[in-house]
Structure 1
Amino acid sequence: MLLTSRSYAEYRAMFDLADEDLTGVTVDCAAGGSSFAAKAAGDGARAIAMDPLYAQGTKAVADRLPADLARCQEMFRAERRRFVWDWYGSPDRHEEMRRAAASEFLADLRRHPGRYVAAGLPRLPLADASADLVLCSHLLFTWARDHDRDWHRRAILELCRVSRREVRIFPLVHMGHGEPVAFLDALRADIEAATGAHSECPTVPYEFQRGANRMLRIYTTAERSSPG
């Protein structure tokens, strides 16, 4: 899997994050080369990034990231009709944001390595209810052809175990042409039955891959919004 670098602004949009959402401890699971943890910490938030790729070590990640970023950009430009460029304005602006995010990520990884934990789903080295908000982007549902429904169930239950308030997952379609994931609704019902949580799939103010403009929002405490 390529090591990708998404920006803080992208995270704010794809997870529809408001300032008040980041007042507690936030875990970014499958964070890759994102600058989210670095920028959120700069704004005073407590953020932890998790990805099994961090086990390679700082130097290996730093050596790998530029080539992975270049391959991603080649793919985006070659398949540009599969993507919506409105949020970015242009492919050039998209590339500029991703390269800046990679630079911010690497600088923070070197300065604050303790913020980056080598771990991945379906098992996280965190205590029960140790985070307020848990985010997971471009892993669950995105790679549903590689990970079956049972794996998704175990992974989402793990995210719910760690969260004392909310879990947000984006996007909810297959990688590629954005087909819906057939087991999404049944899995939501299963997770709600197993945890007592409430979930919803609201539209977010971000769409890059066509059809990928909703997130799964799971309320893991009694302080839940009423079902819409």
Structure 2
Amino acid sequence: MTHPTDTDVLGEFLISARSSAEYRAIFALTDTDLRDRSILDCPGGAASFTAEASELGAHVTAVDPIYHRTPAELRTLARVESDRANTWARTHSDRYRWDWYGSPDEHHRLRRIAATRFGEDVTANPHRYIPAALPSLPFPDNTFDLVLSSHLLFSYADRLDAEFHLMALVELSRVSRAQTRLYPLLDHIGRPRHELIAGLRTELHDKGIRTEIREVDYEFHHGANTMLVLHAPGTD
């Protein structure tokens, strides 16, 4: 087992530029999940998912506090953060499985493409990108068919406490008509958060929110091959 070192201090939250293909793998998304569905991506970061899924007929809204910046600033940020994310992964390459991407170079190439696509879409369709942050979202109850959330909750458990996680999960479920899917269930160093997740699932159950852990066909961090699914109250 590795122990955290000074190089494990990530600093600022990473603004990741993930592609639609990554989202499909991370969240086990099918065409049916996307076509003509209202979807929330929170936090959206610099992902190209909103742009690409919208081309398939989905109605996607991305939420992130970074969206208060201008499109030009966001385009630059997406490129810079893609480089930082790839450098982080290369520095800690032993913690990752590279088979989905093929190599660190291909990982970097795909992320730069996604960053460019994000920059184009945030310029052309700024209405899709809402500046807001968990645990308080500016939407009525049951707004979205599907809510997706990756690489914030659990990933940054070193700085977001259990109370924040619970408030954020309840809020994500509030705006969902059916399902909320969260990935990964490890922190950014690769440590499982079993105790935190077990406690949260108990509290969510007490609030009428059914949960399950589901395997996905994606694993970048070693052991990160599951997602947490929240079922909105009143759904099967």
TM category (shorter chain) comes to over 0.9
Give the Cα separation in 1 of the matches to 2:68 and 2:79: 18
> Please, which of 151, 167, 185 is the counterpart of residue 198 of structure 2?
185
**Cα distance, 1:176 vs structure 2:** 0.8
> Please, which of 66, 72, 75 is the counterpart of residue 85 of structure 2?
72
> What amino acid maps onto 2:29 in structure 1?
L
**Cα distance, 1:5 vs structure 2:** 0.2
User: Percent identity over the alignment?
Assistant: 39
> Please, which of 178, 194, 214 is the counterpart of residue 165 of structure 1?
178
Q: Is the 8 A contact 2:79 2:116 kept in 1?
A: no
Give the Cα separation in 2 of the matches to 1:221 and 1:187: 16
Q: Deviation per CA, 1:62-82, whole angstroms, max 9, x where unpaired?
A: 222222211211111121111
Match of 2:138 in 1: 125
State the SS of the aligned residue for 1:201: strand
Unpaired runs of 5+ residues, structure 2, are: 1-12
2:22 maps to 1:10: yes
Give the Cα separation in 2 of the matches to 1:34 and 1:106: 9
**Cα distance, 1:198 vs structure 2:** 1.5
Unpaired runs of 5+ residues, structure 1, are: none
Q: Deviation per CA, 1:187-221, whole angstroms, max 9, x where unpaired?
A: 11111211x22210111000111121110001115
Give the Cα separation in 1 of the matches to 2:169 and 2:99: 31
Q: Is the 8 A contact 1:41 1:47 kept in 2?
A: yes
State the SS of the aligned residue for 1:89: coil
TM-score (norm 2): 0.91
> Please, which of 204, 217, 221 is the counterpart of residue 209 of structure 1?
221
Q: Is the 8 A contact 2:185 2:192 kept in 1?
A: no
> What amino acid maps onto 1:144 in structure 2?
A
Give the Cα separation in 1 of the matches to 2:127 and 2:156: 28
- 1:128-167 aligned at under 5 Å gives the runs 128-167=141-180
Give the Cα separation in 2 of the matches to 1:97 and 1:213: 20
Q: How many residue pairs align between the two structures?
A: 223
> What amino acid maps onto 2:88 in structure 1?
M
Give the Cα separation in 2 of the matches to 1:37 and 1:177: 27
**Cα distance, 1:181 vs structure 2:** 4.2
> Please, which of 62, 66, 70 is the counterpart of residue 53 of structure 1?
66
